[in-house]
Amino acid sequence: MSRSRAAVWALHGTLAVAVILTLLPLWWMLVASLSPAGAVDAEPLRLIPRALTAEHYEALLTRLPLARSLANSALVAGCVTVLSVLVNSMAGYAFAKLRFAGRDAILRVLLGALVVPSQVAMLPLFLLLKQMHLINGYGGVIVPAAASIFGIYLMRQYALSIPDSLLDAARIDGASELRIYRSVVLPLCRPILVTMAIFTFLGTWNDFLWPLIVLSDEDVQTLPVALANLFGEHVQDTELVMAGSVLAVLPVVVAFLCLQRHYIEGLTLGSVKG
Amino acid sequence: MTGAMARAGAWLTAPALALLGVFFFLPVAGSLGLSFTDFDIYALGNPELLRFVGLDNYLQLLRSPRFWIALRNTLVFCAVAGPLSVAVSLAAALLLHSPRLRLKGFFRTAFFLPVVTTLVAVAATWRYLYHPRHGLLDHALGLLGIAPIDWLGDPRWALPAIILLAVWKNFGFNMVIFLAGLQSIPGSLYEAARIDGAGWWRQLRHVTLPMLRPTLLFVALITAIGYLQLFAEPYVMTGGGPSDATLSIVLLMYEEGFRWWNLGYAAAIAVVLFAIILATTLLPLGLLRRRP
C-alpha cells in the first residue's frame, strides 16, 4: 500500500519537474520581454521579475514595424485558412462520396505525393510566381497554400462516415449536388472543418521558409520573417527580441488553449486511424 | 442522377486539383528539369542565357565539400534527434497513461505547448538560453560545478544544442499520437499478463511495445521526414555555423538558391533531398511488408 502510494507520488513529482523544465523557456521569454533593457545581461538568472515594463512592446508596435507584421500574419493566416478549408473540404467530400471518372487513380497519385517535401517545389514555384507578379505580395503566400493534400485527405476520411442514404434522400428530394454539399455535408462535417481550420491557421502563422523567400519587403512580411530580421539587427537587445517573440507566440498559444480539444482530436484522426 | 454526380465530383475537385497541379506538381517536375540547367542570376534576368548542362550540377554537388558537410549534419541530426525525441515522447506518453494520474489534461497540454509555438521565436529564446555568460543553461551547469560551454560558438556543441531544442519543441506532438495508440490497446491483454504474473516491465515489453508497433513506426517515419527538412533552427540560431557545423541540406539549398541565385544547382540539392526522403519512407514500408 505505502509502496504504491510512493509510486504515485514519484509519478506526479517526475511529471511536475518535467512540466517546469518544459515551460521554463517560455516563462523566461515572457519575463525577459517585460524586463527593463539590459536587465537580462546584468543579472543572468531572474525567473521572478523584480521590475516590469512594457517599453519593448511599445517600441515594437510604434517605433518598429511589428504592428504591421502582426496584421500581415493575421491577414495571411486568415485568408489561407478560409480558402483552404473551402477548397479542401469540397475536394475531400467528392473523393469520399461522389463517383466520377478517374477518382481512385487521382486519389492514389495525391496520396503518393504526400512524401514529396514542399521544399522540392520551392525553386520553380518562385520563378512561376515571379512570372505571375505574385512575389512580394500576400498572394505569393496565400495562393500556393490554398489547396493541401493533407487537408483533402483529412476531409475525405471524415466524410467517408456520412451515410449514403442521407445523401440519396436529399437527391430524391430534388436537391442539387452543390446544395447537398452546402446544406447536408458541411454541417455534418463541422468538427473536422474546425480541426482543419485550427491546423491551417497555426501552421500558416508559424510558417517561415516560404514567407522568407517570397516576402522580402518589410511592408508585407509576416511575423516570423520580421522577427528573424529583428533578431539579426537587434541581437544585443535581448528584451526587445523576446517581446517580439512573445507577440508571435502568444496568439497561437491562446488559440491552441481555447481550441485544443479539436486540435488533438484531429491530430489523432489524421495519424492513428489513417 | 449518376451523370449529375460525376459532374459535381469534377466541379468540386477542380479548384483543389488545379491549384495543386499548378503550384505543386508542376514545380516539383520543374525542379527536376531545373536541376539539369545552369539557371543562375543572369538567367533570372534573361532566360535566353539558360543552358542545358546535363548532370553537371549533380557532379559539382558530389565534389563540393559543403554538400557532404550539410548531408552529414542533416543525417546526424536526424539519427540522434529522431530516436531521442521518439524516446522522450514515448516516456511522457507512458507516464501520462498511468491510470492513477491526476490532472492528466493539464500535463498533456503543458507538454504539448512547445509544439504550437512559433519556431523562429523559440529558437531566438533558446539562443539566449545557450549564451555562455548570461544563459540559463550554463548557469545551471555552473551550479553543478561544470564549466560553461559555448554552445552555439563551439563547432562540437552547436549541433547537439540544436538537437536539444528540436527535442524540446517536438516531443509533445508524438506524445499525443502515442497516447492515442496506448488507449487503443485492449485492457484485457494487461489483465491476462497480470494473471500470468507479469510485472510492469514485462507488461511494457510483451504487451505495450508490440501493440504499439504500428504507431511507433508511423511516429518514427514522420519524425525522420520532418527532421530531414531541418532549416529554421540553424537559420535563426547559428546561420549554419560555426564553420558549417550546423549547415543543413535545406539551409544549403536556401543559400545557393535564394542568396546566390544558383537555382539550377539548388534544384539539384532539392532533388537529392527528395531522394533521401523517399528512401526513408520506402525503407520501413519494406520492413513492414517482410514481417507482417
**Burial (CB count within 10 angstroms: exposed 0-12, middle 13-18, buried 19+), residue A136:** middle
d(CA B100, CA A164): 43
Query: Is residue A265 included in any domain, yes or no?
Result: yes
Query: Is residue A137 included in any domain, yes or no?
Result: yes
Q: Kindly provide the ipTM of the predicted complex, given to two decimals.
A: 0.91
**Burial (CB count within 10 angstroms: exposed 0-12, middle 13-18, buried 19+), residue B187:** exposed
On whether the CB atoms of residues A123 and B263 are closer than 8 A, the answer is: yes
A contact test, residue of B20, B32, B50, B118 with most A CBs within 10 A: B118
SS3 A131: helix
B contact test, residue of A66, A120, A229 with most B CBs within 10 A: A120
Q: How far is A67 from chain B (nearest CA, A)?
A: 16
Q: Is B209 on the interface with A (CB under 8 A)?
A: no
Query: Is residue A116 included in any domain, yes or no?
Result: yes
On whether the CB atoms of residues B172 and A266 are closer than 8 A, the answer is: no
Structural domain count, chain A: 1
| Partner-chain contact B136 A8, CB within 8 Å | no
Give me the half-sphere count of Cα atoms (radius 13 Å) on the Cβ side of residue A207: 26
- The pTM of the full predicted model, rounded to 2 decimals, is 0.93
Contact list in A for residue B101 (CB cut-off 8 A) is 11-12, 15
Partner residue facing A272 (CB), from B15, B215, B250? B215
Q: Is B271 on the interface with A (CB under 8 A)?
A: yes
Contact list in B for residue A185 (CB cut-off 8 A) is none
| Partner-chain contact A117 B139, CB within 8 Å | no
pLDDT in tens, chain A (274 residues): 467 889 899 999 999 999 999 999 999 999 989 988 887 777 665 778 777 888 899 899 888 888 999 999 999 999 999 999 999 999 999 999 999 989 999 999 999 999 899 999 999 999 999 999 999 999 999 999 999 999 999 999 999 999 999 999 999 999 998 899 999 999 999 989 998 999 999 999 999 999 999 999 999 999 999 999 998 888 888 889 999 999 999 999 999 999 888 888 777 766 544 3
Q: Which residue of B lies nearest to A237 if distances are taken between CA atoms?
A: B128
Q: Which domain holds residue A193?
A: 56-271
pLDDT tens for residues B181-238? 999 899 888 889 989 888 888 889 999 999 999 899 989 999 999 999 999 999 999 9
Query: Is residue A185 included in any domain, yes or no?
Result: yes
| Partner-chain contact B120 A248, CB within 8 Å | yes
* CATH number, domain with residue A239: 1.10.3720.10
Query: Is residue A5 included in any domain, yes or no?
Result: no
Instruction: Name B133's Cβ contacts closer than 8 Å, sequence gap at least 6.
Output: A44, B148
| Partner-chain contact A11 B95, CB within 8 Å | yes
Contact list in A for residue B144 (CB cut-off 8 A) is none
Query: Is residue A7 included in any domain, yes or no?
Result: no
| Partner-chain contact B19 A144, CB within 8 Å | yes
| Partner-chain contact B15 A28, CB within 8 Å | no
Torsion sign across C-alpha atoms A78, A79, A83, A86 = positive
| Partner-chain contact A121 B109, CB within 8 Å | no
Query: Is residue A15 included in any domain, yes or no?
Result: no
Query: Is residue A103 included in any domain, yes or no?
Result: yes
Domains in chain B and their CATH numbers?
A: 56-290 (1.10.3720.10)
